[in-house]
Structure 1
Amino acid sequence: MVVYIFLILLVILFSFMQTKQNKWYLFLMLALIFVVMAFRSFSVGSDTQAYRLLFFQLSYLKLSSYMQSLTTFFNSRFELGFILLNKLIYHFTNNPRWLLIIVALIVVVAVWLFINYFSQDVSLSLVLFLTLGIFADSLNSMRQILALAFVLISYTYIDRNKYVSLLLIILAALFHKTALFALAIIPLSYVKFNKKTIGILSVITLFIFVSFNTILTIFFKSFTSYSGYVDALSDGAARNATLLNGLIDLIIVIFCYMCGRINQVQGMKLTQYGNETFYLLLIFISFCIYIVSFRYSQLSRLSNYFSCVYLFMIPNSISLIKTPIRRLLLKYTVVIFAISYFITIQLFRPEWSRIVPYSMLTN
């Protein structure tokens, strides 16, 4: 865990030399993060070793049999985009190290585009990226982190060109089918976050929670490739993670909303792009997903596509504080909380991601 703490401290220390126009700070920090991700041992991350073995297996897969019908396409265990990526890499080299390198590169480029576009405090955004779960997922859930990377890029187009945003989300689904749920982001961009919206979402969440067994049975019959995840229904450890992450999402919504209210900023102008209450809505939706996830813990994976906006919502909310000393105190209170959360999880619940102990490449 020393490597992760050192990385976080570097992000904080180098931030004192950062200027608003200094793009080199973000580039340098993400380059360091890239090294940690790309050149880790295959023992780092609960799924990394499995993806190493899968790299060789997918190289022999015949695409003709995979594409023979839509049923095969949707019920296949692995998505077409991920299969093609593996086969493309294998065409040039049979070293699975390059799979980690390419995935790490895609992720850091996506994070760079996302943070650079939205955040008014890139150093705090990087700290949140490293501590609140996305970074841990990038060392573990390879297919979904690739999908999330393309969803992050799609956010930068949501107010500029919704067709590009749509295409990027569809591309994301070629790496993990759950990204199809991110298609909801586009129509949601027209919805305001208010009491009426909260009420409607609460009713929908309650309905899904109560009738979940019926919905899940229909889903497993339609998509048989996911039937192996049924064990997650009674996963007590996953429920603890769901509870904790759901509470964090709720705290973030309240925190961002109160920052805007206290400073009486009309329309919550947290960024120069679009309706910022839309991004609060997305985090609230993530909270609702965590509630439903008490019935089936694997559903919590869907929350990442919506909650990821906290990477800029928290820094931009803090930027609304008019008094510099209060703004600084609030920023470093968040930093201390985020680091404490990360250390606590890695010390007492390392099995959630298995990214500790960290070690560099062994081959």
Structure 2
Amino acid sequence: MTLYSGLMLFLALSSAYKGRGKIKFVFSSVVLMCLMGFKDLTVGNDTPNYIEFFSRLQKLPSLIDKSSRFEKGYQIYAKFIGYFFNSYQALFIITAIICISCICYGIYRNSINWQYSLFLFVGLRFYYFFLSGLRQSIAVSIIFVAYVYLKEKKNIKFIALTLLASTFHFSALIFLFALPVSKMKIEKQGIIKIVISIVCVYILFGPLLNIILSHMPAYYSHYLTTDATSANNMADFINAIIPCLILLLAAFTGYRSNSENNKSGDSYNFLYCDLDTQLLFLIIASGLSFIATRASILDRMVQYYWLFSIITISNILFTIKDNRKRTIWYFIITSFIIVYNLAILFFRPQWNAIIPYKFFWK
């Protein structure tokens, strides 16, 4: 736990200056890559499954294992790595390079304060999931890059990357809804449409789940008989509230007006045409978390929209003009996230199974 505490403190303190230091950003990225790539097989509750599959796949003469529940894109990816490297550690290292590079590219293109976005990436526990779930980590990372093309209205590239992400984890297809969402604005009509959709899905969840599973790979049907369908999960209620608090923060600090006033400045030109989309993503993340109280497996789908909070929160905070007000909010938000993170690591160390952290050579 000391390792993660030190990592968060370093990222938080190095982000205190309102700027974009490339050296510290690159250094921090390399550290995250190393921790993810050089982890021991005991780090991450899904890690043993990926090791077992990687080793088994290399012994097969075929490109894919038809009996496996893993998506074909991931299987081809793992087979290709195994062709050159006869070690599962290579799988971890290459995956770490791909995932962290994609996350950093998205941050580079969208965030005012790169270091603070990295702090949020760790502090909001996304990084911990990356230490465990390889398939979805790759999918989420590709989606993070796909958003750049969505923002630039390059819809074909956006759709292509989203479909590519779905070959690593089928759930990535939910991000296709970001395309119509990107054409909406933060206004009464748009918000009402999203809220009504969320309420309808919540009410009709049972029949909809059966319809969706009937069109998904057969192995997903096992979720109906596992803890993944557990209902009224308190963690999901909390996860539904947090995005709402961020939206209140955006309203209270005048995020949209501050950003519009600064849009003409060179240091803010990354903000074009995506403010409303990012805020709508928070609403969707909150709604999906609310629906996930009916079946916690939907937590996986929340990540595709919730991950963008590492950009949104950073931009909300560092577009505050008043230095004193920004410092106060910085202290409140950063302290809350650190305490929240450490509390979960202390009281729920079994989540993601990342404690204790060990390097593979130990």
Letter of the 1:303 counterpart? V
Q: Deviations over 1:145-171 (max 9, x none)?
A: 100010011112223222222221111
- Structure 2 match to 1:7: 7
The alpha-carbon distance between structure 1 residues 265 and 174, as it changes in their structure 2 partners (threshold 3 A), is closer
The alpha-carbon distance between structure 1 residues 56 and 76, as it changes in their structure 2 partners (threshold 3 A), is closer
State the TM-score, normalizing by the size of structure 1.
0.90
1:186-265 matches, within 5 Å, as 186-223=179-216, 224-230=218-224, 231-232=226-227, 234-235=229-230, 239-260=233-254
The one of 166, 171, 178 equivalent to 2:159 is 166
Unaligned runs of 5+ in 1: 67-71
The one of 144, 158, 168 equivalent to 1:175 is 168
Distance 2:299 2:261 in 1: 30
Q: CA RMSD in A?
A: 2.4
Q: Deviations over 1:37-72 (max 9, x none)?
A: 111111111101111111112224455776xxxxx7
Give the Å deviation of 1:226.
0.5
- Structure 1 match to 2:41: 42
Letter of the 1:361 counterpart? F
Give the Å deviation of 1:111.
1.4
- Structure 2 match to 1:104: 96
- Structure 1 match to 2:25: 26
What percentage of residue pairs aligned between the two structures are identical?
A: 27
How many residues are aligned here?
354
The alpha-carbon distance between structure 1 residues 97 and 76, as it changes in their structure 2 partners (threshold 3 A), is closer
Give the Å deviation of 1:303.
1.0
Contact 1:267 1:276 in 2 (8 A): no
Distance 1:267 1:82 in 2: 44
1:345-360 matches, within 5 Å, as 345-360=344-359
The alpha-carbon distance between structure 1 residues 3 and 65, as it changes in their structure 2 partners (threshold 3 A), is closer
1:125 is paired with a residue whose SS is helix
- Structure 2 match to 1:317: 316
The one of 107, 125, 142 equivalent to 1:150 is 142
Give the Å deviation of 1:258.
2.5
Contact 2:45 2:352 in 1 (8 A): yes
Contact 1:263 1:322 in 2 (8 A): no
Letter of the 2:234 counterpart? N
Stretch moving more, 349-358 or 122-131 = 349-358
Give the Å deviation of 1:195.
2.1
1:351 is paired with a residue whose SS is coil
Contact 1:290 1:300 in 2 (8 A): yes
Give the Å deviation of 1:304.
1.0
